């Protein structure tokens, strides 16, 4: 990545970006409908960024109803040159403890019925995109380097299981995901990642482990617990984002 304009997609717990000096808000209309909200342009660590809350600025859009195509199309046409997606996940393997952050390097898609490609209508030819490495290696390494430089305890790789939601998983489903090689589970990783690849936007995820996945912790998963863990981790997320942006 040689350009400085970065997009940050905020997930659960990041509907606003603290420290962002807002310069303007831009309402975008796309061929795929309306994005989750206006794009917020501003300066973070002295660099231009564009912020978008994935679930809407009031957190009212569930994962399976996010208009991923409109969001990614809007960011591309706003002129950004890379996307960092912040996402809350459940921890499956032992190192994915709540309040840590992780930078996945692989993803498995378990979603269904979502509009998952830009290449499905009015085609002159069939288009296949390479998705061997679903996250941009250079952008991932910038995030990893930023975390290391400020001493943030981050997991530097892992496989993200993208499930349909909005319900959480059963313990048996989590056992299956682990057998499949997954380290964390979330509901927004796909088709967001592949849509960015189709539009040639470098894309990486900063995953916030919000809770132990079903059957991995004690008792049932509560939203109070999830929100508490996300709030505790968000300071590290912001510092990593700021440090990453400073290096662009």
- Binding residues for substrate are 187, 211-213
> What does the alpha-carbon distance between residue 242 and residue 132 come to, in Å, rounded to a whole number?
29
Strands 21-26 and 83-91: unpaired
Do the Cβ atoms of 42 and 86 come closer than 8 Å?
A: no
Token pair, residue 185, equals: 């589970």
Annotated binding site for phosphate: 12, 54-55, 188
Do the Cβ atoms of 72 and 196 come closer than 8 Å?
A: yes
Annotated binding site: 12, 54-55, 187-188, 211-213
3-state helix/strand/coil string of 80-149: CCCEEEEEEEEECCCCCCCCCEECCCEEEECCCCCCCCCCCCCCCCCCCCCCCCCCCHHHHHHHHHHHHH
DSSP 8-state assignment for residue 227: H
Do the Cβ atoms of 206 and 143 come closer than 8 Å?
A: yes
Helices (H) and strands (E) in the chain, counts: 5, 11
Do the Cβ atoms of 214 and 168 come closer than 8 Å?
A: yes
Do the Cβ atoms of 28 and 77 come closer than 8 Å?
A: yes
> What does the alpha-carbon distance between residue 146 and residue 129 come to, in Å, rounded to a whole number?
29
């Amino acid at each position: 990545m040689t350009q400085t304009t970065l997009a940050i997609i905020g997930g659960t717990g990041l509907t606003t970006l603290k420290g962002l000096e807002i310069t303007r808000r831009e309402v975008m209309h796309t061929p795929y409908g309306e994005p989750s909200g206006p794009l917020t342009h501003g300066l973070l660590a002295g660099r231009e960024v564009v912020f978008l809350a994935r679930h809407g600025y009031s957190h009212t859009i569930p994962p399976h109803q996010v208009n991923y195509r409109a969001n990614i199309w809007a960011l591309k046409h706003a002129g950004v040159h890379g996307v960092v997606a912040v996402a809350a996940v459940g921890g499956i393997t032992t190192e994915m403890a709540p309040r840590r952050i992780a930078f996945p390097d692989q993803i498995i898609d378990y979603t269904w019925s979502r509009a998952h490609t830009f290449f499905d209508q009015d085609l002159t030819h069939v288009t296949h995109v390479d998705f061997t490495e679903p996250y941009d290696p250079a952008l991932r390494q910038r995030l990893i380097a930023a975390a290391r430089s400020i001493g943030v305890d981050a997991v530097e790789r892992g496989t993200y299981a993208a499930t349909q939601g909005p319900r959480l998983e059963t313990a048996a489903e989590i056992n299956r995901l682990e057998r499949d090689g997954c380290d964390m589970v979330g509901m927004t990783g796909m088709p967001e990642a592949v849509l960015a690849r189709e539009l040639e936007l470098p894309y990486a995820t900063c995953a916030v482990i919000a809770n132990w996945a079903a059957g991995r912790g004690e008792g049932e998963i509560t939203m109070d617990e999830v929100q508490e863990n996300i709030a505790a981790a968000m300071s590290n997320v912001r510092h990593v984002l700021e440090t990453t942006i400073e290096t662009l």
